[in-house]
A and B are shown apart, each in its own frame.
Chain A
């Protein structure tokens, strides 16, 4: 079976942290552990200061294996307030990357 993954259109990520809490709630992760982690990235360029967020998917992400057995999408995908996380077969996500600016791909273990 084709492997699935997550496509993060991080240019849209506002740093709202919803994905992290969605993941925590779904998996009952204790403090200190999460499937996804958002970081602020501040760059001081000659023209202006840029504030961006990057999204790292961690070793604890199981792509919401239980959840996606039904019709549900992963918890972070559903709740991302900027709708900037996509779930699907890796090949399709890579194709999508060709069209989208500033994305990153997560492929699980």
Chain B
């Protein structure tokens, strides 16, 4: 129990402990150099004192006996689990020599820099990668890059900026802000916001809005707490969200209930869109999705006729057969209803004060590293030349192209991997066996993490121990406010922060001098764009909203000339308008208008297969106590969600002789995994819902078991190489076919 005389350190959470997309203000209580407790900070506008289960369990994470606290080198074969403790100097020397050799022989591009989605990783990993000279920044195995990037790309193409549901998070007085009004309706599209803070959005803001009058519309194949409280629940067949969006556009346009003034003044390509959506009558959408036409009409009318209203969407949108197209259609919903950048609508979200964690733009990179690197980045980046949207939207590798290249060595071989914050085999990658085989052959692999996991065990040659959030300094600019994380305790053992590791490594590997002496200098330089620094923010309680009239403050920025570089009113697109007809998509060789694409594998597309595998497998159900593949070793959390559970409709389960709590196999053409059955009407009859990222840290970590990842990781049932035309979306994460049957004897 923390006593009131413990020292209290204010900070901002961003993973490595809480496992999250961060943003919560916290109080870290410290006694004799040890964290005694972590609580929410009541003065922080983001979470207003609250904290999720993961944040509250950080103490168990920091002091977990399995944490890796010293650099390790592998001494046995890969996967044998034989490690030897080494010094940082030895680790750095080894890495420096190996990576320099590889660069000399094969070029910097033959080293890939792999991240997941935890911690403050985007800044430090690109910093190191550019210093080394590689263009290959990747989320390995994330098929169709199905995690937010497709949605971001669609928003960028449509209105030149990104938007999020407005729950007053851009205003320091939050719900008491005069300029804010709650959304009349919130559409919760393919997400369970109660399970976390997806994409930098604190899920319970939705509940805060509901208490202030917001009503709900939920689009989700399953019944949830939110659908229970919704005026309309569109329970569609998994994978058909694109049809739902097009059907809603059809209703809103044909019934003339869109915002005519806004469309006339600020939108481009309305007549083309109008023509396109004629192909998607509610009746046709009913046939595709199973959602009754009248229910679809009702949802469309409620959304369009009640302004302002907002849409909060989730990752399944990205994973649709044409992820960036489905995202585009949804973007158009808030566009034609004039719900963009208005209070209580979908507000434009910009990095606070214009600060970025690290320069991602070509201009800034040219300044730092020279034009040659920037040119090479685009020439050699894996997948960039196959997909113009991948090339032009952001500096990522296309993961489906990468796996092929790792296997074939064409057009050039991949020789080494720097893996930081990513459990590729145990959670991130589709078809992890295929990635295992391909990555085993790499010459050299470094993993930076806090615990051993299936990936580090199977692949790493060197393991570098990273710090938790309480053991490091960092900063956060993902939307708002601008925040800093304060070091509350000395790192355990020899751990270092990701920024420290990457700065030190960059100094050894960079081809041009690195000017920063320490991490604080990096942070302060980034923060200087917001006219502040680490100490100032820390003194203010770790957060600050942008000043009045800053372009990163809401609302109506398109009217005030705050979105475009030329200072003119309008949107930051080629036409200056919201592009319903996306000229960017056209330029990238894509259909400028949205359309529906059926999943590759479904009861409709593959009728014969559906006879053998009659159920639809939808993966990635979020647990409120885990972040992706993290936290399975944290006792307080594991107790609340002890085993991987497949949800299956109660009546279907009965017909299959499956009872609640039985161990079952979920099987498809790729393989089978073991789950405990939960027979519940939560799932409609045709759907099986399975969580992702399951491995058992308490079991044997060496190969071939690798913490039982092959038995329980649902990604063993997914595959690579199904990417959509844009390079985004398309895999069977959310909509494949499967069957479920009892494990003999009902025992594990």
Interface residues of A (CB under 8 A from B): 12, 14-18, 20-22, 24-28, 31-32, 42, 44, 48-53, 66-67, 70, 75, 78-83
Contacts and interface: CB of A to CB of B under 8 A. Distances in A.
Contacts of A31: 635-636, 639
Given A48-B233, A82-B207, A25 B50 contact: no
B225 A15 contact: yes
B682 A25 contact: no
23 contacts: A16-B52, A16-B194, A21-B56, A21-B636, A21-B637, A24-B56, A24-B57, A24-B636, A26-B37, A27-B1, A31-B636, A42-B682, A49-B223, A49-B681, A49-B682, A51-B228, A51-B682, A78-B39, A78-B40, A81-B51, A81-B52, A83-B50, A83-B207
Contact of B227 (A18, A22, A51, A75): A51
Given A49-B682, A50-B228, A78-B40, A18 B4 contact: no
B635 A25 contact: no
Given A14-B194, A49-B223, A21 B57 contact: yes
Interface size class of B (residues with CB under 8 A): 35 or more
Contact of A14 (B42, B59, B204, B223): B204
Nearest to B680: A42
Contacts of A18: 50-53, 56
A22 B38 CA distance: 9
A54 B27 CA distance: 29
Nearest to B210: A12
Contacts of B39: 75, 78-79
Given A22-B51, A25-B57, A78-B50, A16 B681 contact: no
Contacts of B190: none
Most buried by B among A25, A53, A80: A25
* Centre residue among B208, B223, B625, B639 by max chain A CB count within 10 A: B639
Interface of B: 1, 4, 37-40, 42, 49-53, 56-57, 59, 194-195, 203-204, 207-208, 211, 223-225, 227-228, 233, 624-625, 635-637, 639-640, 650, 680-682
A12 B650 CA distance: 26
Contacts of A15: 194, 225, 624
Contact of A70 (B4, B57, B203, B682): B4
A72 B659 CA distance: 45
Contact of A51 (B51, B211, B223, B637): B223
Given A15-B624, A52-B228, A81 B50 contact: yes
A12 B426 CA distance: 34
A79 B637 contact: no
B223 A12 contact: no
Nearest to B52: A18
Nearest to B224: A51
Nearest to A75: B39
A81 B625 CA distance: 13
A32 to B, nearest CB: 7
Contacts of B224: 51
Contacts of A83: 50, 207-208, 211
Contacts of B51: 18, 22, 79, 81
B639 A16 contact: no
A40 B635 CA distance: 21
A67 B4 CA distance: 9
A44 to B, nearest CB: 5
Contacts of B1: 26-28, 66-67
A20 B53 contact: yes
Given A18-B50, A22-B56, A79-B56, A48 B223 contact: yes
Nearest to B227: A51
A82 B51 CA distance: 10
The 9 tightest CB contacts between A and B, nearest first, are A14-B194, A49-B223, A21-B56, A81-B204, A21-B53, A17-B53, A49-B681, A16-B624, A44-B681
Nearest to A28: B1
A81 B204 CA distance: 6
A42 B649 CA distance: 12
Given A49-B681, A79-B40, A14 B207 contact: yes
B233 A16 contact: no
Nearest to A70: B4
A34 B477 CA distance: 37
A49 B233 CA distance: 11
A32 B639 contact: yes
A41 to B, nearest CB: 10
A14 B208 CA distance: 12
Contacts of A52: 225, 228
Contacts of A75: 39
Contact of A82 (B40, B204, B639, B650): B204
Nearest to A11: B229
Contacts of A21: 53, 56-57, 625, 636-637, 640
Contacts of B194: 14-16, 81
Nearest to A67: B1
Given A18-B51, A81-B50, 19 more contacts: A12-B211, A16-B624, A18-B52, A18-B56, A20-B640, A21-B53, A25-B56, A26-B37, A27-B1, A28-B1, A31-B635, A42-B681, A44-B650, A48-B227, A49-B682, A52-B225, A52-B228, A79-B49, A81-B204
Contact of A17 (B4, B42, B233, B624): B624
A12 B207 contact: yes
Contacts of A49: 223, 228, 681-682
Contacts of B37: 25-26
Contacts of B207: 12, 14, 81-83
B417 to A, nearest CB: 35
Nearest to B207: A82
A69 to B, nearest CB: 9
B52 A51 contact: no
